[in-house]
C-alpha cells in the first residue's frame, strides 16, 4: 500500500470516529459554548460593572483617563480556525499510544469541524511547523472536514517547532476576521506571553495541548539511543538511572507549569489532552465551562 492509500485509509477511519463522536447533543454543547462569540467591532462605550475585562480598550482608556470597552454586534455565523502544529515532535507515538500526536489532533479537529458544520459555521485550517506553511480559508460544508483531516495527516514529518511569535503572526496575517482559534500543539516551545496575548486579543483563543505519556514520564529501561524528531540529533541515555528519569520529569513539569501560568495570567481556558486518553470528556467540560461563563 502506497503512502497516499495509507493516508486515505486513516482519513476514512477518523471520519467514521468523528461522525460517531459528534452526536446532536454534543453539537448542541458546542453551540452553547461559543454562542455570542461571532462578533464584529461596533463602537466604544464607558466601562460598566459586570463588563468583560478582556474587552477593555487600553489605548482609549489611557487617552481619556476613563475605562472604555469595545462594543460588538453578533454575527449569525462564526468562523472556526484550527491552527495545528505539524512539526517533527507531533509525529511521535509512545508504546501505549495507538496514534501519533498528529493523528490524535486530526481526530479532535474532525470532531470540532463536524460540530461547527452542523451549527452552520465556517471552518478553516492553518498548519505550522512545516515549510511552507499551509492555510485553508474557512468555508462551510462536510467536504471541508475531509479536506482538513487529509491535510493534517498529509503533513510531512520533520520541521522544527515554530516560535509562538511566528505562530501568532501567521494566524493574524491569514485570519483577518475575528474567529475562534483552536491552537493544537504539544507546546514544547518556550512560553511567550506577549505573542499569546496578541493572538487572544484579536481572536477567541483556545489552546489544545497534546502530550504523550512517554514524553512526560520516561519508561524504566536500559541504555537507549534517543533521536530528536526535529533535528535528527542522536543522544545516548541510560533509563535505568532513576535520577535521570526524575530530572526529566521535573523539567517537563516546570515547563508545563510555566505555560499554565501564562494562560492563567491571560485568562485563557486550555484543553489539556493525552494521546492514550479519550478527549471527549475534557471537550464537554470545556464547552460547559464556557456556556456558564457567558450566561448573563
Domains (range + CATH), the chain: 3-38+75-293 (3.40.50.410)
C-alpha cell of 274? 493525552
Beta bridge partners of 134: 127
Give helix 101-118 / helix 280-293 axis angle, nearest 10°: 50
Quote the mean pLDDT of the chain: 86
Are the C-beta atoms of 179 and 245 separated by less than 8 Å? no
Task: Look up the pTM and report it.
Answer: 0.81
Query: Can you say whether residue 129 is alpha, beta or left, with left for phi > 0 and alpha for psi between -120 and 50 degrees?
Result: left
Q: What is the sign of the dihedral through the CA atoms of 40, 45, 51 and 56?
A: positive
Decide if pLDDT at 295 tops 50: no
Q: How large is the average pLDDT for residues 233-244?
A: 82
With CA atoms as reference, report the closest residue to 213 among 109, 99, 95. 95
Strand partners of residue 69: 45, 56
| Residues sharing a CB contact under 8 Å with residue 223, sequence separation 6 or more, in sequence order | 236, 237, 238, 239, 240
Of the candidates 149, 84, 80, 82, the residue with the CA atom closest to the CA atom of residue 121: 80
Beta strands (DSSP E) in 86-173 are 122-128, 134-139
Alpha-carbon distance of 224 to 216, in angstroms, equals 17
Q: What radius of gyration, in Å, describes the C-alpha atoms of the chain?
A: 20
d(Cα 121, Cα 140) in Å, to the nearest integer? 6
Does the pLDDT of residue 255 top 70, yes or no? yes
**pLDDT exceeds 90 at position 192:** yes
Mean pLDDT, rounded, for 67-74:
72
Who wins on pLDDT, 103 or 158? 103
Q: Which helix (H) or strand (E) holds 153?
A: helix 142-154
- d(CA 33, CA 45) in angstroms, rounded, equals 26
Kindly tell me if the per-residue pLDDT of 68 is higher than 80. yes
Which grid coordinates belong to 62?
A: 489611557
Q: Report the alpha-carbon distance of residue 27 to residue 24 in Å, rounded.
A: 5
Amino acid at each position: 500500500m502506497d503512502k497516499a492509500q495509507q493516508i486515505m485509509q486513516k482519513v476514512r477511519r477518523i471520519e467514521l470516529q468523528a461522525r460517531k463522536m459528534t452526536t446532536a447533543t454534543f453539537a448542541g454543547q458546542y453551540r452553547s459554548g461559543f454562542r455570542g462569540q461571532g462578533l464584529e467591532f461596533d463602537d466604544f462605550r464607558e466601562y460598566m460593572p459586570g463588563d468583560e475585562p478582556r474587552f477593555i480598550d487600553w489605548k482609549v482608556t489611557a487617552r481619556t483617563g476613563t475605562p472604555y470597552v469595545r462594543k460588538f454586534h453578533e454575527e449569525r455565523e462564526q468562523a472556526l480556525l484550527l491552527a495545528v502544529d505539524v512539526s517533527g515532535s507531533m509525529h511521535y507515538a509512545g508504546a501505549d499510544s495507538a496514534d501519533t500526536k498528529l493523528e490524535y489532533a486530526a481526530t479532535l479537529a474532525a470532531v470540532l469541524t463536524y460540530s461547527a458544520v452542523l451549527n452552520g459555521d465556517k471552518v478553516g485550517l492553518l498548519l505550522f511547523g512545516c515549510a511552507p506553511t499551509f492555510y485553508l480559508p474557512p468555508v462551510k460544508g462536510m467536504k471541508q472536514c475531509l479536506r482538513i483531516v487529509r491535510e493534517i495527516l498529509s503533513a510531512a514529518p520533520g520541521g522544527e517547532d515554530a516560535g509562538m511569535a511566528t505562530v501568532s503572526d501567521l494566524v493574524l496575517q491569514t485570519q483577518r476576521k475575528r474567529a475562534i482559534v483552536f491552537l493544537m500543539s504539544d507546546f514544547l516551545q518556550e512560553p511567550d506571553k506577549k505573542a499569546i496575548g496578541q493572538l487572544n486579543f484579536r481572536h477567541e483563543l483556545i489552546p489544545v495541548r497534546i502530550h504523550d505519556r512517554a514524553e512526560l514520564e520516561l519508561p524504566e529501561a536500559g541504555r537507549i539511543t534517543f533521536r530528536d524528531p526535529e533535528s535528527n540529533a542522536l543522544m545516548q541515555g541510560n533509563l535505568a538511572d532513576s535520577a535521570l528519569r526524575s530530572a526529566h520529569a521535573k523539567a517537563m513539569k516546570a515547563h508545563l507549569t510555566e505555560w499554565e501560568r501564562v494562560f492563567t495570567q491571560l485568562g485563557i481556558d486550555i484543553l489539556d489532552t493525552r494521546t492514550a486518553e479519550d478527549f471527549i470528556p475534557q471537550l464537554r467540560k470545556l464547552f460547559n465551562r464556557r456556556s456558564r461563563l457567558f450566561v448573563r
